[in-house]
Amino acid sequence: MESDPVERTELNPADDDVADIGTRVRVRGTQEDNIRDRKEIDQRLDELESEIREMRKGYEEECRLRGVKPYAPVSMSEFVVRDLDRKLKEHNKAKRAEEEATDTIIDADEYAQVELPKSFLLFVSYLLALCAPIPLFESFAQRLPFAFMFGTLLFIFLLKRD
């Protein structure tokens, strides 16, 4: 059950003309879309507020340890720069570790030798030959001798390939 569409206005990103910067276009959306968009915006705002609270706690703790007065403009900007620098270093360290792990996995895959049992290869060969869509053979009984012959040739080919 879909609700009635509700009109909302948005800036038109296709307008490059300076005179038309303020023009708006009508976008039709359902009420559920608007509610979902609003929930996503509220969730993102909550995430940002919690990040700001965490930064303030860290800043106040650092000020308390250093014995300086919190919220001095210079020290707050220094804290923000150091906090961002710390986060960047952690991100780079995690990225480096991920790249090293990926390199290790690729190296292991390059050296891995997987050998299938010969009976499995024979079974797959017969199955492929039996399922081949050949218009000459209409029934399963007509297809069986061909499948046996073709499957055997395919099996020999797979063995020679190794």
Angle between helices 31-66 and 73-111 (to 10 degrees): 110
Arithmetic mean of pLDDT, 94-122: 66
User: Taking 80 as the threshold, does the pLDDT of residue 47 lie above it?
Assistant: yes
107 & 122 share domain: no
Which is higher by pLDDT, 46 or 120?
A: 46
Looking at the fold, whether 82 and 122 belong to one and the same domain comes out as no
83/133 same-domain check: no
Q: Which comes out higher in pLDDT, residue 140 or 13?
A: 140
Q: What's the pLDDT score for residue 33?
A: 76
Question: What domain count does the chain have?
Answer: 3
Q: Based on the domain organization, do 5 and 58 belong to the same domain?
A: yes
CA distance 151 to 126: 4
- The pLDDT tens digits for 54-81 are 888 887 888 788 877 766 655 666 767 7
- What pTM was computed for the model? 0.28
Q: Check whether residue 20 and residue 34 sit in a common domain.
A: yes
Q: What are phi and psi of 6, to 5 degrees?
A: -115, 135
Q: Are 122 and 155 in contact (CB under 8 A)?
A: yes
pLDDT of residue 134: 65
129 and 105 part of one domain: no
Domain co-membership, 101 together with 46: no
Could you tell me if 1 and 56 lie in one domain?
yes
Which residue range(s) make up the domain with 110? 72-114
Question: 57 and 29 in one domain?
Answer: yes
pLDDT of the residue at 111: 52
Task: Based on the fold, state whether residues 125 and 100 are members of the same structural domain.
Answer: no
pLDDT at position 16 over 50: no
Instruction: Report the run of H or E that residue 26 belongs to, with start and end.
Output: strand 24-30
Q: Are residues 40 and 77 in the same domain?
A: no
How far apart (Å, rounded) are the C-alpha atoms in residues 91 and 85?
10
For residues 131 and 150, the answer to whether their CB atoms sit within 8 Å is: no
At 98, the pLDDT band (50, 70, 90 cuts) reads confident
Residue 2 has what DSSP assignment? Answer: P
Same domain, 9 and 51: yes
What secondary structure does DSSP assign to 94-122, as a single string? Answer: HHHHHHHHHHHHHHHHHH------HHHHH
Q: What is the pLDDT of residue 137?
A: 64
| pLDDT, greater one: 112 or 54 | 54
Amino acid at residue number 136: L
Range 89-117 average pLDDT? 68
